[in-house]
Amino acid sequence: MGVLMINKSIVKKNILIILFMVIVWSCSSKTVADSTDELDITKAHYILSKMTIDDKVGQMTQVARDYLESYEDIKTYRLGSILSGGGSAPPNNSVKGWREMTSKMQDYALSTPLGIPLLYGSDAVHGHGNLRNAVIFPHHIGLGAANNEKLVEEIAKITALECAATGVNWNFNPCITVPQDIRWGRTYEGFSSNPEIVSRLGVAEVKGLQYNWNSNISVLACLKHFVADGGTNKGIDRGNSIISDKELEEIHLYPYYEGIKANAGSVMASFSKINSVPMHQNESLLTGRLKNDMNFQGLLVSDWAALTLLPGSSKDQIAAAINAGIDMVMVPDKYKEFINNLKELVKEGRIPEKRINDAVLRILTTKIKMGLFENPKADPELESLVGSDSSREVAREAVAQSLVILKNDKVLPMYVGQRVLIVGEFANDLGAQCGGWTTTWQGKLGNNNNTGVTILKAVNEALGKQNVVYLKDSRMLNKTDLSEFDLIIYVTGEEPYAEMNGDNPYPSLSRVDMKIIDTLDKSGKKTLLLLISGRPLLLDGAEEKVDAIVASWLPGTEAMGITDVLMGWKEAKGRLPYSWPADSKGFVQGLTSDKYLYPIGYGLSL
Ligand code: BGC
């Protein structure tokens, strides 16, 4: 008995030694990250082995909350993801309202046999735009002008926090498009027409968004739209990019290499076509390039109802997209039909089960890596941090850094004691400042019950209200006595827009603008044209008629950043992220610089 006991303990000891040696060996030959990755993959394989075809197909289905017939369907159909499209929010559009909605949805997902949590997606492309009173940062075009990676990373961290507080754990951002034609309505979603800038800032945004994985702020980033969405002919949204391999490689694919190296966990396919082939069925780019050559291990999601734009029947469309490499489909509406079709396609052998397993593994691994199983729901503790003063300070700083001074003939800096007339309805409109993807899909004029500082308010604060007169209706300018003013600021630009509606064959100042600028010219006063726009606008000679021109892009909710620079309190650091056309030929980017009034990189200091 005693001998036996000794033998047992020796065996035990030996096993421990062997185990120890294995651990030492694995630690020396692999990084901790490698071993964690392997564990995650093993866990994903284990879950997959327990899944029925219904479970699998459900995971591959993303439904828009507006089309979800009942929360029970999350359980019945084993849905993998829900999204809020542009403007979609719970009736109680507050952090609490969101949290309650997303928590309830997670409860249904967690009550399925395998308890797989949901990914909840939204387009927080400049802050959590669907949430009332969120901090809204400058759109990417402004951040491209600021060209500051640290700042972008900080913004992304705040955005992740505000998303997480509402239960949104998937942000369809960064948009790393590289727009080559400013007629495109999504130009402002791109940091720049220069792929190097897009790439650096895109990486910073991925890092910031995914910074807190495995905590109560686990948010998945999404590189979009793969690929060459910004290369379409004449800048037509969802159009055809007729491009050479070299352009594809050096302009449009370039930021993806970097974004994927930075571990971006998901990618969204583009509505557009490349050389007439729709991206959603482009196997050689989706699977060949993205997944194989670039070694993208994350999940590839379709764009909103993008499959329905492919040729053939619904089933043909689904087969083409999934076989090309799409892992999850943003259906977003007729999900029961989609699920049925997908199951039939597998049964008929038109989609190999191997492809389905690969898609589901990618979805599961992503959810596991983020720590979603441990933190599926929004943590109520985060609520008090949303819209905080310190976050608004970061936004204000971003606005200051994004401002580009295009002309300054002894107007700037402004000074305390100066008498200013500020003209135009955009001067007092948060909706105009924020642009698309804010409160609604396309964005809209008005304050929309959001919190923020308008340009008028910022100027009032900077100069003292008693020194500022506001003329909302700019058409009244020629009936106004201007003698008492030292400076007239005209605020104008583009009304909010987003994808599709934002395409404009001739982005320029309007006729009304030109009339007002003529009046300014004749006034003999110092004049400043302050532009709010999602892209450069043709000035059609206005540049000769005013004394100063400042591009503020779509600055978001914190306009004090504008006055910080106009008053000379902060350095004027912003530089053009796109070339500013001299005439319509210059809408296209990357031409010789004589086509442009101000080339990319231009911007005055004070
Ligand atoms: C846009 C995407 C967006 C999606 C979900 C689509 O129309 O192209 O950028 O992420 O909607 O809102």
Q: What is the pLDDT of residues 485-519, one digit of tens each?
A: 999 999 999 999 999 999 999 999 999 999 999 99
pLDDT at 25 over 80: no
**Closest Cα to atom 5, ligand 1: which residue?**
85
Cis peptide preceding 332, ω within 30 of 0: yes
**Which stretches of 104-201 are assigned E, i.e. beta strand?**
119-122, 170-171
Do 57 and 43 belong to one domain? no
Do 14 and 95 belong to one domain? no
Quick one: DSSP state of residue 508? B
Do 307 and 166 belong to one domain? yes
Q: What is the pLDDT of residue 30?
A: 58
User: Which of 451, 427, 456, 428 lies closest to 439, judged by CA?
Assistant: 451
List residues with catalytic annotation. 303, 499
CA of 415 to the centre of ligand 1 (A): 43
Q: Choose which residue among 303, 307, 308, 333 to substitute to test ligand 1 binding: the one with the highest number of ligand atoms within 8 A of its C-beta.
A: 303
CA of 90 to the centre of ligand 1 (A): 18
CA of 501 to the centre of ligand 1 (A): 13
pLDDT at 12 over 50: no
Do 42 and 65 belong to one domain? no
Which of 266-270, 324-328, 478-482, 531-535 is predicted least confidently?
478-482
Per-residue tokens: 112: 């399925």
Cβ partners under 8 Å of residue 76, min gap 6: none
Q: What is the pLDDT of residue 35?
A: 80
Q: What is the count of structural domains for the chain?
A: 3
Q: Choose which residue among 499, 501, 503 to substitute to test ligand 1 binding: the one with the highest number of ligand atoms within 8 A of its C-beta.
A: 499
Rounded Cα–Cα distance for residues 501 and 184 (Å): 10
18 or 75: which leads in pLDDT: 75
Question: Relative to the CA of 441, which ligand 1 atom is closest?
Answer: 12
Q: What is the pLDDT of residue 16?
A: 39
From 336, 351, 384, the end of a domain falls on 384
pLDDT tens for each residue of 522-556? 999 999 999 999 999 999 999 999 999 999 999 99
pLDDT at 315 over 50: yes
State the CATH number of the domain containing residue 371: 3.20.20.300
Question: Relative to the CA of 332, which ligand 1 atom is closest?
Answer: 5
Neighbours of 495 (CB within 10 A): 19
Do 377 and 429 belong to one domain? no
Q: Are residues 589 and 535 in contact, defined by beta-carbon separation less than 8 angstroms? A: no
Q: What is the pLDDT of residue 119?
A: 99
CA dihedral sign of residues 337, 339, 342, 344: negative
Residue linked to tokens 């970061």: 394
Do 56 and 13 belong to one domain? no
Return contacts of 72-78, CB within 8 angstroms, 24+ apart: 72/108, 73/335, 74/105, 74/108, 74/109, 74/118, 75/108, 75/109, 75/111, 75/112, 77/335, 77/336, 77/339, 78/54, 78/112, 78/116
pLDDT tens for each residue of 146-200? 999 999 999 999 999 999 999 999 999 999 999 999 999 999 999 999 999 999 9
Neighbours of 445 (CB within 10 A): 13
**Is residue 604 one of the residues assigned to a domain?**
no
Q: What is the pLDDT of residue 594?
A: 83
CA of 122 to the centre of ligand 1 (A): 9
**Is residue 395 one of the residues assigned to a domain?**
no
**Which stretches of 25-112 are assigned E, i.e. beta strand?**
61-64, 81-84
pLDDT at 484 over 80: yes
**Is residue 588 one of the residues assigned to a domain?**
yes
**Is residue 557 one of the residues assigned to a domain?**
yes
CA of 499 to the centre of ligand 1 (A): 8
Q: What is the pLDDT of residue 540?
A: 96
Residues with CB under 6 A from ligand 1: 85-86, 123, 172, 224, 303-304, 499
Q: Choose which residue among 128, 268, 304 to substitute to test ligand 1 binding: the one with the highest number of ligand atoms within 8 A of its C-beta.
A: 304
Quick one: DSSP state of residue 252? I
Q: What is the pLDDT of residue 18?
A: 44
pLDDT tens for each residue of 246-270? 999 999 999 999 999 999 999 999 9
Do 420 and 432 belong to one domain? yes
**Closest Cα to atom 11, ligand 1: which residue?**
304
pLDDT tens for each residue of 109-124? 999 999 999 999 999 9
Question: Region 85-108: what's the mean pLDDT?
Answer: 98
**Closest Cα to atom 10, ligand 1: which residue?**
172
**Closest Cα to atom 2, ligand 1: which residue?**
303
Predicted confidence band at 13 (pLDDT cuts at 50, 70, 90)? Answer: very low
**Is residue 198 one of the residues assigned to a domain?**
yes
Question: Relative to the CA of 86, which ligand 1 atom is closest?
Answer: 12
Do 138 and 279 belong to one domain? yes
Rounded Cα–Cα distance for residues 120 and 167 (Å): 7
Q: Choose which residue among 63, 123, 279 to substitute to test ligand 1 binding: the one with the highest number of ligand atoms within 8 A of its C-beta.
A: 123
pLDDT at 292 over 80: yes
Predicted confidence band at 34 (pLDDT cuts at 50, 70, 90)? Answer: confident
Do 550 and 488 belong to one domain? yes
**Is residue 506 one of the residues assigned to a domain?**
yes
**Closest Cα to atom 4, ligand 1: which residue?**
304
**Closest Cα to atom 7, ligand 1: which residue?**
304
From 323, 356, 384, the end of a domain falls on 384
Do 356 and 409 belong to one domain? no
pLDDT at 303 over 90: yes
Average pLDDT, the chain: 95
Predicted confidence band at 7 (pLDDT cuts at 50, 70, 90)? Answer: very low
CA of 99 to the centre of ligand 1 (A): 22
In angstroms, how far is the first alpha carbon of the chain from the final one? 91
Write the Ramachandran bin of 275: left for phi over 0, alpha for psi from -120 to 50, otherwise beta.
Answer: left
Predicted confidence band at 2 (pLDDT cuts at 50, 70, 90)? Answer: very low
Domain coverage including residue 358: 51-384
Q: What is the pLDDT of residue 9?
A: 41
Q: What's this model's pTM, rounded to 2 decimal places?
A: 0.94
CA of 489 to the centre of ligand 1 (A): 36
Do 20 and 102 belong to one domain? no
Predicted confidence band at 448 (pLDDT cuts at 50, 70, 90)? Answer: confident
State the CATH number of the domain containing residue 515: 3.40.50.1700
pLDDT at 22 over 60: no
CA of 303 to the centre of ligand 1 (A): 6
**Closest Cα to atom 6, ligand 1: which residue?**
304
pLDDT at 571 over 50: yes
pLDDT at 20 over 70: no
CA of 29 to the centre of ligand 1 (A): 42
**Is residue 441 one of the residues assigned to a domain?**
yes
Residue linked to tokens 């910074």: 211
594 or 326: which leads in pLDDT: 326
pLDDT tens for each residue of 423-438? 999 999 999 999 999 9
**Is residue 444 one of the residues assigned to a domain?**
yes
Q: What is the pLDDT of residue 458?
A: 98
CA of 441 to the centre of ligand 1 (A): 9
Do 41 and 89 belong to one domain? no
Question: Region 406-411: what's the mean pLDDT?
Answer: 98
CA–CA–CA angle 205, 211, 216 (5° rounding): 125
**Closest Cα to atom 12, ligand 1: which residue?**
85
Q: Choose which residue among 66, 128, 172 to substitute to test ligand 1 binding: the one with the highest number of ligand atoms within 8 A of its C-beta.
A: 172
